Amino acid sequence: MSAFSDLGRHPGWPVRLGPVEVRAGTVTLRGPRLFDGSSWSKLRIRDRAYLEQWEPTAQEGWDERNATLSWPAQWSSLRAMARRGSTLPFMIMVNGELAGQITVGNIVRGSLLSAWIGYWVAADRAGGGVATAAVALLTDHAFREAGLHRLEATVRPENAASIRVLTKSGYREEGLFKRYLDVAGQWRDHLCFALTVEEVSDGLVRRLVARGEARLP
């Protein structure tokens, strides 16, 4: 069904993506739901040490920002931005359980057709191909159904795991942004990775399958 077929729906959202099978299990992406709050908060608070070193500094404390009670406002904001067409927000599911989030944000249309992509995955799901599969699924979707031309991702040079995910997915390094983002209380340098639709006409998921890193059920 065409993404334009229902009045009020933005191209590319809402939709469910996947499944793709990787070492860690079966990966699917779906839109955020109000009842995700408890599972989301549990993962975020449990994995604070793993996640906080890479995420933007916020005025609230970590536990406050990631409490179950903070989720309804975040969910409502994500849904509103998705309906306006500025964001494509998804929850990463592994074997039906919440394992992280991935988002295409700051969508600009017109002659640019560009956005950024960002993600986090629970610590106990790291290294099992989950992030790579999620990036591949959403990149393919953003270029095809959502009609974007370019995606970029920024990552700290110290974040070797995330850099590995991006490079395995086909994103290429474009440069270094000096003192780009306030992370863990300091202005941090970030590498910029990018990809355009012409570079992946065959699709990232198909590439993962061809390399034997994923399987379609």
CATH of the domain at 188: 3.40.630.30
Domain assignment present for 109: yes
3-state secondary structure of 185: coil
Please give the pLDDT value at position 83: 92
What percent of the chain is modeled with pLDDT above 70?
96
Please give the pLDDT value at position 4: 33
- Condensed to tens digits (0 to 9), the pLDDT of residues 36-47 reads 999 999 999 999
Domain assignment present for 216: no
Q: What is the CA radius of gyration of the chain?
A: 17
Q: What angle do CA 52, 54, 57 make, to 5 degrees?
A: 65
Count of domains for the chain: 1
Domain assignment present for 200: yes
Which whole-number Å values give the CA distances from 58 to 16, 181, 186, 189, in the listed order? 30, 11, 12, 18
Domain assignment present for 10: no
What domain range includes position 30?
17-210
CA-CA distance, 47 to 131, in Å (whole number)? 16
Domain assignment present for 159: yes
Domain assignment present for 96: yes
- pLDDT band, very low/low/confident/very high, at 9 (cuts 50, 70, 90): low
Lowest pLDDT segment from 21-30, 147-156, 180-189: 180-189
Tokens of 118: 């960002």
E-strand spans in the chain?
17-22, 25-30, 88-94, 97-108, 114-121, 150-155, 172-183, 186-196
Domain assignment present for 162: yes
In this structure, the chain runs to a length of 217
